[in-house]
Homo-oligomer: A and B are copies of this chain.
Amino acid sequence: MDVSAGNVSADTTVADVGEFGLLALIRERLGSTSNLIIGPGDDAAEIAAPEGSLLVSTDLLLEGKHFRRDWSSAEDIGRKAAASNLSDINAMGGKATAITVGLGVPGDLAVAWVLQFADGLAAECAVVGAEVAGGDLTAADSIVIGVTAVGSATRPVRRDTAAAGDIVAVAGELGLAGAGFAALSRGFRSPRAAVDACRVPKPPYAAGPEASLAGATAMVDLSDGLLADLGHVARGSGVVLDLDTASFTVLEPVATVAEALGVDPLRFILTGGESYGLAATFSARSELPDGWTKVGVARHPELGEEPAVLVDGAPYEGPAGHQHFR
């Protein structure tokens, strides 16, 4: 068939247009690649060299495990796939310049799905001024997505460099995506704000570079849940992070889902995954940038105490964050 966007109907499959036809359609869709020196289609993409140093992060997203086609549109899945990686660059205090995308799809998948997925990737990249630099397309039994983001930071912020005496702060809409996931899991489609946050996270992209400029001592993004992700900071840095639950803002949709399901809304804030917010430590004398809220303090472990995250001075008794294979 003649492969051009005008000839793609809702039931045109990937097998109908073939690998090279689909690649041509995707490239049309990604539009201008003005920041790229060599864009999609060559052996590798060429991007202007970053200032300072290069940041690279990669994520694998699998159908049925990380996303479901009956829960999310193709565009939402594209946005989320890009956001989860752009968030990693954000958590280093950096700005992403480009992503590459490996995509495995079944031959009977609608071409329209792939093109809307590409739209989602491009739309999320546009939020931070990054571009889709290239990728790889292959046949797969179910949808497989591998995204890699590259970027740079003036002062990259590690996760294992928090110090005793620091304050702990967070940015982003904590608990919203976790509440949305709980609602969707039980067959609800509302509250809309929570469900939308689960489908398409909104990472606080300004907050990472601003925290770096403000002298953040350590930073992580919140993908597995606040307690799980801060656990890496505590163990990596050899400190105890003690969170004060009174300082958390419980967003209204989070309270609504918690009430409907009869659970403590704090559970979504502390263990809800995929908010793609940020948690960071700052020296006690720092002025927090806009969008950051103090939620705890870092201290030395006491004699015989392991580095860990505490909630109001004690280990949290609720379910833990997500861990694969368990």
Report which A residues bind B (CB closer than 8 A): 14-15, 18-20, 22, 37-38, 41-60, 62, 65-66, 87-89, 91-92, 94, 98, 100-104, 107, 133-140, 144, 146, 148-153, 156, 158-160, 219-221, 236, 323-326
* Interchain CB contact under 8 A, A53 and B58: no
Most chain B beta carbons < 10 A, residue from A94, A100, A236? A100
Residues of B within 8 A of A325 (CB): 14-15, 18-19, 22, 107, 139
Other 13 A-B pairs with CB < 8 A, given A19-B323, A41-B236, A58-B148:
A18-B325, A37-B53, A43-B57, A44-B151, A45-B57, A47-B55, A48-B54, A49-B49, A58-B100, A58-B146, A60-B138, A100-B148, A144-B146
Q: CB-CB < 8 A to A56: which residues of B?
A: 44-45, 47, 98, 100, 133-134, 148, 150
Contact: A140 with B58, CB < 8 Å?
no
**Known: A49-B53, A148-B100, A150-B150. Contact between A60 and B19, CB under 8 A?**
no
- A102 in contact with B59 (CB, 8 Å): yes
Would you call A62 and B144 a contact (CB within 8 A)? yes
- CB-CB under 8 A from A134, the residues of chain B are 56-58
Task: List 3 tightest A-B contacts by C-beta distance, closest first.
Answer: A146-B146, A60-B102, A44-B57
Which of B51, B100, B140, B150 is in CB contact (< 8 Å) with A65?
B140
Known: A48-B54, A65-B138, A89-B44. A60 touches B144 (CB 8 A): yes
How many copies the complex holds: the figure is 2
Chain B positions within 8 Å of A88 at CB level: 43-44
A36 to chain B, nearest CB (A): 10
A244 to chain B, nearest CB (A): 25
Residues of B within 8 A of A158 (CB): 38, 42
Contacts of A51 in B (CB 8 A): 49
Could you tell me the distance between the alpha carbons of A65 and B141 in the complex, rounded to whole angstroms? 10
Q: Is the CB of A53 within 8 A of B47?
A: yes
A94 to B49, Cβ gap below 8 A? no
Cα distance, A146 to B146, chains bound together (Å): 6
**Complex CA distance for A57 and B107, rounded to whole angstroms:** 24
Interface centre among A20, A66, A100, A102 (most CB of B within 10 A): A102
Max chain B Cβ within 10 angstroms of own Cβ: one of A65, A144, A153, A159:
A144
Q: How far is the CA of A98 from the CA of B54 in the complex (A)?
A: 11
Docked Cα-Cα span, A149 to B136, in Å, equals: 13
Cβ contacts under 8 Å, A14 to chain B? 325
Chain B residues with Cβ below 8 Å from A101 are 58
Choose one: B18, B46, B53, B58; the contact of A326 (CB below 8 Å).
B18
User: Which of A14, A48, A140, A159 has the most chain B CB within a 10 Å cutoff?
Assistant: A140
